[in-house]
Amino acid sequence: MTEETEEEPKFAPGETIHDVATVAGMYQNWFLDYASYVILERAVPAIEDGLKPVQRRILHAMKEMDDGRFNKVANVIGQTMQYHPHGDASIGDAMVNLGQKDLLIETQGNWGDIRTGDGAAAPRYIEARLSKFALDVVFNPDITDWQMSYDGRKREPTTLPVKFPLLLAQGVEGIAVGLSTKIMPHNFRELCKASIDVLRGRDIQLFPDFPTGGLCDITNYNSGQRGAKIRLRATIEKADKTMLVIRDIPYGTTTTALMESIVKASEANKIKIKKVVDNTAAEVEIQVHLPTGVSPDLTMDALYAFTDCEISISPNTCVIIEDKPRFVGVEDMLRLSTQKTVRLLERELEIRQDELHEKWHSASLEKIFIENRIYRKIEECETWDEILETIDAGLKKFVRVEGEKQKANDTRIVLRRAITQDDLTRLTEIRIKRISKFDGFKADEYIQKLETELAEVADHLANITRYAISYFDGLLKKYGTGRERKTQLRTFDVVTAQKVAVANQKLYVNRQDGFVGFGLKKDEFVCDCSDLDDIIAIRRDGSFMVTRIAEKTFVGKDILHVGVYNKNDDRLVYNMMYQDGPSGVTYAKRFLVTGITRDKTYDLTKGGKNSKVLYLTANPNSESEIVSVQLTDKAPARVKQFEFDFAELAIKGKGSQGNIVTKQPIKRIKQEALGDSTLGGREMFFDSVVGRLNTAGHGRYLGTFDTDNTVLVVYKDGSYELKSPDTAHHFDVPNIVLLRKLEPDTVLSTVYVEGETKVHYVKRFKIETSTLEKRFSFISESKNSKLLVVTANPEPLVEMKIQRDKKADRETEKLPLHTFIDVKGWKAAGNKLAYYKIHSLALLTDEGPEPERRAAAKKRGPATIPRPAAPEPVAPLPELTGPVEVTSEDVERAQAVLRRPKSQLKLF
């Protein structure tokens, strides 16, 4: 029954009638009141000052207690309880949180550590006081709106007049009823500069900066609005081949939690580690020791994939604006905060202007009162009213109020307001001692000083934007030192768990019964794998299935091939011969397995009854092969044995029919020779943003890499290293000066300074070492030795600024290094560059030919058919920016381009 149809309740005579409310109505009203209270008064900060009520009350209580000295936190908590009716625990936690942000509160004692998760000491042991920044920026009782405290005994601020985007600087997190907020902290210096840009009408863009440092991917930050997402990573360094060191941790986690996640992943066999050691003190240092033979690069990726070394946060910028929760972006929040700051600064200037006017008014009246001896005229007055009238009459002879009609030759002083009774009373309170020592010259100086300050304040009010810019610039200079950005903004590559998972399982197969899994330990061993891998199983009848690895899975009887399946592998090519059941014809095909649905059965033959696979191989790098085909004795063909070359077939999809090999019955197929990769070497690119190699066309093109090719990396410390072209490698981009494919004729030319003698040396050498993952220093190992330039250009040119003697002027000289010294061994010291002083040295040539073929690679896409043999890719000629000398290498490159087919020329 609804409320509209309910009958009115009947009461007996004499019965007291009370208000009647339904349970549904009470729930609706009370819950709404409770939800509104939690949102507005506890969880979500106000846009005006960026503070929750408990934070605002703590700061107000500390301001009341402020005498410049530290106060016990327990004392501050007790003072705050006069305004905050929710107990000391909530106040203490909020105060520790404020203190750890190191902005508004200056702390003393053990306040805990957000990096390690250690809590603060008891409130009776730690102390705090307001920081100078808080005293300058947060408080001004003259422009503060006040309200009564919860018990009506005290006044507390409705909001504090914060003249800074405090909410964005500190960040905040809160959960209310049906609503939450999560605002990331931002950099102090960047906020000041962004506020200046807002005032100057420029576009702004803000990104988070966390006190724990680390790395942050803000690709999907989207101004921190709902639906946004940021990824945070720890900073991991490779100490050596057996140890990784974690320097910074993601915001929101702790060293303890991070270590526990690493141990948990190790126990689950997702990563292989020997031990984890926490050496955190003033700086974070977590050592991850690796077993012998475990790749540090793969372990680094595994740490990001399986532990808290990488986390994601979903910001949600919700604030209270005009007593309502609003969702706005961080840039809009900064604009609102900057506009509010301008209004507060304007209000402070207006108050200051009124104060100066009052001081000027009082000083002027006092000067007239004393210099004109008006005080003598009140000696004969008998009543108080008569005294005031006498003073007023005496002053009017020398002053007039602004706006009053001026008479001819009127030289009276102009007052900005009328004289009040309070003004007259103040004049009567001047002591005789002060009158006797009155100095008119000093009085004029004081009034002039007030007028100068009034003019300055009026100028600020007339140019309030300029004044606000100067204010933020002052904050930046006064408090910005030591507040540089701690979090590095990076773009992360996506770490696929299947790629970095440790091979913690062993794959077995029972071919006859059709089972695969890691629990069939009595059956045939196939390979090592992880528990995240997919498995492909091809049966004798030409059907196959891809399924998730499990302890034991049925995939169909008579299994011919089983292995780990990687859907992104475009190099694994299957060579197959099968006999079509209805026709008896034998077909050959080469195919890739892509675009599959897990646990769905596919057919590799024409699908006829009694079809069967006669020959099948899986080739990791698209190798072709030559097989010998022997027909049965009953076959009518005269030639009963012949060879078939799979290299003649194009690589197609899994559903292709294939080419006819023979219509005769086949007795045996035998591999005679394994051919080369028909897809050629892999085209590798280097993405300096993420510090990785890739085959997707991101970054700088390095060239085509075969199995035996390596990457040459030269570091700023004067060492080089050879690395395999593995996309799992991490490269320390900030410390790299040269990264390229190592060619047999690569010659490095370098200039360095020997540390002890300070002599410049020139050296040219070829890479003679072949050991991978080991650094070799090619400059002097003396302390303070420094690498100046290094290049792989065959004809390098450097420009020097030299001084032949102390009295001579500086000269500029160009030197071709290839004419200065011959190619020597990598251990040679080189030749001395000059016996005179060298002030600077710069390389004028680039690194030599490194083809930029990203557009061609993207256009071509993943290779699915064999390409005809072609010459090694050649770079286009460099853009001419001035006189260029044509070298023999330029001629060879041009001839190589001209030798190409027209179908390839259009790619360049």
Positions marked active-site: 125
Coil, strand or helix: which one is 230?
A: strand
DSSP codes, 534-556 = EEEEEETTSEEEEEE--SSEE--
In this structure, is the dihedral angle defined by the CA atoms of residues 467, 471, 473 and 478, taken in order, positive or negative?
A: positive
Give φ, ψ of 444 to 5 degrees: -65, -40
| Residues in Cβ contact with 188 at an 8 Å cutoff, skipping those fewer than 6 apart | 103, 169, 479, 480, 483
Beta bridge partners of 414: 400
Radius of gyration of the chain (CA): 41
Residue 480 near residue 193 (C-beta atoms within 8 A): no
Integer Cα distance of 729 and 570 in angstroms: 20
Residue 779 near residue 787 (C-beta atoms within 8 A): yes
Residue ranges of E strands in 632-687? 641-645, 651-652, 659-662, 666-677, 682-687
What tokens appear for 419 in the block?
A: 């004289």
What tokens appear for 671 in the block?
A: 């591999």
| Residues in Cβ contact with 19 at an 8 Å cutoff, skipping those fewer than 6 apart | none
Integer Cα distance of 60 and 622 in angstroms: 73
Interior/surface letters 286-317, b for 16+ CB within 10 angstroms, e for the rest: bebebeeebbbbbbbbbbbbbbbbbbebebbb
* Residue owning tokens 């080739």: 619
Integer Cα distance of 831 and 761 in angstroms: 5
What tokens appear for 1 in the block?
A: 């029954």
CA 264 to chain centroid: 26
| Residues in Cβ contact with 113 at an 8 Å cutoff, skipping those fewer than 6 apart | none
Residue 125 near residue 110 (C-beta atoms within 8 A): yes
Beta bridge partners of 181: 174
Residue 489 near residue 498 (C-beta atoms within 8 A): no
Using a CB cutoff of 8 Å and minimum separation of 24, what contacts does 42-45 make? 42/174, 42/176, 43/174, 43/175, 43/176, 43/179, 43/180, 43/181, 44/174, 44/176, 44/179, 44/181, 44/318, 44/319, 44/320, 44/325, 45/167, 45/172, 45/174, 45/181, 45/183, 45/319, 45/320
What tokens appear for 34 in the block?
A: 């409770």
By C-alpha distance, which of 176, 172, 153 is closest to 81?
153
- Count of beta carbons in the 10 Å neighbourhood of residue 406: 10
- Count of beta carbons in the 10 Å neighbourhood of residue 542: 23
Q: How far is CA 677 from CA 553, 619, 706, 856, 865, in A?
A: 34, 9, 9, 21, 12
Integer Cα distance of 391 and 377 in angstroms: 8
